[in-house]
Structure 1
C-alpha cells in the first residue's frame, strides 16, 4: 500500500473497540523494529499450544532477529467460516479472553474478525495495521520518535504447507501476507517444511521458522474428540477454559455421548471429526 493510497475502510462489528490495553506503546530498544504478532484461527477451543506459540515466537524474536514484540493478538475466525467443529463465535471469543487475560500478561483477543462475515487473512492483517498504525499512531521510542509497527502472522507449519499448494491461496493474497507483512511459523510434528519453503522462495526473507524444542501436538480437534468421549481435557487447556466448557456443556451436545460410560452403554462408535485445508491457523 503506497503512501498515496486512500486509507482502507473496514466494517466494524456493533459496539466494537480495538483492544490495546496490553499494547506496549513505548519501544524499549530504539534499535529494534517494533512488531505485533497476530494468530488467526478457529480456537475451538483455544489450547495451551495456541498460547505456547506466542512464547516460542517471543524467544525466537529475542534471540534471532532485530524485532521487538510490542503486542500479541488472537483473532478468532467468523462463524461464516463454516469449519466442522466450529463453536459459535461468542463462546470462542470468551474462551480466548479467559485464556489470554488469566494466563498471560501481554496477549489480547481481537473480536473484529469473529463477529462479522468471513474475512480473508490478508484483510485481517490490514485491519490490525490500520488500527495500530493509523488510528493509534504506532509506537514511540523513549526519545519520542514515532515508529511504524510491523504486523506479522503467527501460525503453525501446516499453514505454510497449504500456502505452497497451487490453487489453495490466491497469488495476490500470498504476496500481500508474505511480502508486506511476513510470518513466523511454528514447527509441528511430522511436517516437512523444506519443500514448502522452496515453493515460497520469493518470500523466504519474510518467513521465519521456529522449531519446537519440546514437542506438543495438542490440537483443538483432539480436544473436541476427548470431550465427546467424556474424557478429561484438564491440563491440555487453561483451567478457566476447561471450567467454562464444563459449565456450558460445550462440545457434547451434538449427539455424541457426554461420558465414556454412556458411549459404552449406547454402543456408539467413535466420533469422527471432518478436517479441511484451512486458510487460517489449523486447529
Structure 2
C-alpha cells in the first residue's frame, strides 16, 4: 500500500454526504451487513470492525490471511471483540497498472470470502462517481468514516451482552509497508493521519525486511492506536507477482483462492502486455492514462 495526498472533506464525523454521489455498474449501492455480528458474545469487550483498503487485483491468500492473523491477535491481546471484517476495493480512478475494472475486483473478492463467516466486500469506493459519472478517488480517511457512519449511525452500533447498544471501533487493517509510508514526511496529509490513526487506529501486519520500530518512530503521537501483529509464517504473495505469473501463462493455483482462479480464467483477466485485463472499457483505469491517483494496495 502506498500513501495518499490531501483531499477535501477528510475531517469531521461521517455524514450521509459521504455516501456515493452516484453509482457505477453495480447500482444501487447497499452497505453489506449479512455477516456483521449484531450482538456481542463477550462481556466487557469493545466491538471491533476491521477494514482493509486495497487494489485486490487480484485478491490473494495473504489478503485473507491478514484478517485471520488480526482476529487471533485481537482475541489474545486486546479488549476488543471482532464483529466483522471488510475488504474495500479501490476506485477505478486510481489508474494503476494492472488494475482490473472495479466490478471484476469486487466479484473476485466476493468469491474469495463467499464461505467466510465474517468477511465481506464493500463496493463503496468503486461506486463513488463525480457529477459526470466518472470514478472518483476516495481517501482512506473517508472510507473509515463511511464505515463509522453505516455501523454506528445508521445501524446504531452493536448490541452488547447486556442488551445496550455500543459504538463499534472501526480500524484499518494493513501491511507494514503502509505504516512505513505514513512515517515519511510529505507523503500523507496530516489531517488524514489524524483521522486514520488518531480517530480510528490501525492493525499492522509485520513483514520481513521491514523495520517496524523505525516506521513507528515518527508516529509516536498515534502509538496507542497502532497494533503491530507478527507474521509467524512468512508469506510474500502479492497481487503483482500473481499478475506476473498470469502474464507468463504460469499457474497461480494455491497462491489465490480457487474461485478467483476460475473467475480470472472465465474473464481472461491480467493477460494483456502489462498484466491488465483484456476486456477493459473506457474509464476503467487505463494504465496509460496520465490522470493518475495515489494507490492503496
TM-score range for the pair, normalised by the shorter chain length: 0.7 to 0.9
Q: 1:41 aligns with which of 54, 60, 65?
A: 54
Q: Secondary structure of the residue that 2:81 maps to in structure 1?
A: strand
Runs of 4+ in 1 over 4 A off after TM superposition: 276-279
Shift of 1:84: 1.4
RMSD: 2.1
Q: Does 2:192 correspond to 1:173?
A: yes
Q: 2:241 aligns with which of 217, 222, 237?
A: 222
Stretches of structure 1 lacking an aligned partner (at least 5 in a row):
259-275
Structure 1 partner of 2:154: 135
Aligned length: 260
Tell me if structure 1 keeps the 8 A contact 2:173–2:203. Answer: yes
- By relative contact order (CA 8 Å, sep 6+), the higher-ranking structure is 2
Structure 2 partner of 1:110: 122
The TM-score with structure 1 as length reference comes to: 0.88
Q: Secondary structure of the residue that 1:20 maps to in structure 2?
A: coil
Q: Secondary structure of the residue that 2:87 maps to in structure 1?
A: strand
Shift of 1:278: 5.5
Structure 1 partner of 2:262: 243
Structure 2 partner of 1:72: 85
Tell me if structure 2 keeps the 8 A contact 1:162–1:279. Answer: no
Q: 1:52 aligns with which of 65, 68, 76?
A: 65
List per-residue Cα deviations over 1:43-84 (Å, max 9, x = no partner).
Answer: 000000000000000000000000000000000000001121
Q: Secondary structure of the residue that 2:241 maps to in structure 1?
A: helix
Spell out the pairing of 1:61-210 with structure 2 (5 A cutoff). Answer: 61-102=74-115, 104-116=116-128, 117-210=136-229
Structure 2 partner of 1:27: 40
Q: Secondary structure of the residue that 1:124 maps to in structure 2?
A: helix
Shift of 1:133: 0.5
Moved more, 176-185 or 135-144: 135-144
- Aligned partners of 1:83 and 1:210: how far apart in 2? 28
Stretches of structure 2 lacking an aligned partner (at least 5 in a row):
1-11, 129-135, 278-291
Which is greater in Rg?
Answer: 1
Shift of 1:114: 1.4
Shift of 1:253: 2.8
Tell me if structure 2 keeps the 8 A contact 1:169–1:279. Answer: no
Shift of 1:30: 2.3
Identify if the C-alpha distance between structure 1 residues 6 and 149 changes in structure 2 by more than 3 Å, giving closer, same or farther.
closer
Structure 1 partner of 2:4: none
Q: Secondary structure of the residue that 2:207 maps to in structure 1?
A: coil
- Aligned partners of 1:215 and 1:237: how far apart in 2? 16
The TM-score with structure 2 as length reference comes to: 0.84
Tell me if structure 2 keeps the 8 A contact 1:132–1:138. Answer: yes
Shift of 1:37: 0.1
